[in-house]
Amino acid sequence: MTQNTVTEQMTQAGQKIEHNSFAIVDNETGEHDYTDAQWQIVRRMIHATADFEFNGLSRFSDDAVEAGLSAILNGAPIVADVEMICVGLSKPRLSHFGVNTHHFISDDDVISLAKAENTTRAVQAMRKAHKAGLLEGSIVAVGNAPTALLEVIRLIKEDNLKPALIVGMPVGFVSAAESKAELETLSNVPWIITHGRKGGSTLVVSAIHALLALAEAQSK
């Protein structure tokens, strides 16, 4: 079996630690209800957080993994709600597929509009990305701001926006669970979510890294 190279740790020692960690997760989890491809994503999320509750909290639309792989293999951009996601993603792995990342949360015009319209920066950042044509056919990655996810959902419903995939995992107490529950009702856009309050940028990064690994394996 051909092994991945681009999406592996750079050293043999790092690879051994990661593989041993995955084996521990597999052993301690036991049976689960995910497909093999979905489990590659959930397992990496558990590995990144040491939280086995994501076995169950992680949910996928039927076509989510396939849509994500197609987007990556076609070099679709990733639009994130916060810079942390863009920083956390491996640049060599993204470059291998020609994937670029974007975030606008700290742009001066985004901040000004958020103040003027009494919205959040996350809302204005997604609106800016939409106006720039970046959301259509992209992977939308939300790990922090529920309002970013709610805005993307609004654009889907009102402007017929069609991202390739939404990785919706905002964390928190105000609208986090609710925004993901609303995304879960959509049938025309693929999504991966963490049910309830738990989430975060670390989980989004780990999910996308798993998709990159699956994409490399598929492209061999």
Q: How far, in Å, CA of 4 to CA of 217, rounded?
A: 6
The overall pTM is greater than 0.85: yes
Distances in whole angstroms, Cα of residue 118 to Cα of each of 67, 115, 176, 218: 35, 5, 20, 45
pLDDT grade for 1, boundaries at 50, 70 and 90: very low
Quick: pLDDT tens for 88-107: 999 999 999 999 999 999 99
pLDDT grade for 121, boundaries at 50, 70 and 90: very high
| Fold entry, domain 55-219 | Rossmann fold (3.40.50)
Residue 47 known to be catalytic = yes
Tokens of 164: 């390739």
Residue with tokens 């999910």: 207
The one catalytic residue in 19, 32, 47, 103 is 47
Domain ranges of the chain: 55-219
Is the pLDDT at 150 greater than 60? The verdict is: yes
Quick: pLDDT tens for 171-204: 999 999 999 999 999 999 999 999 999 999 999 9
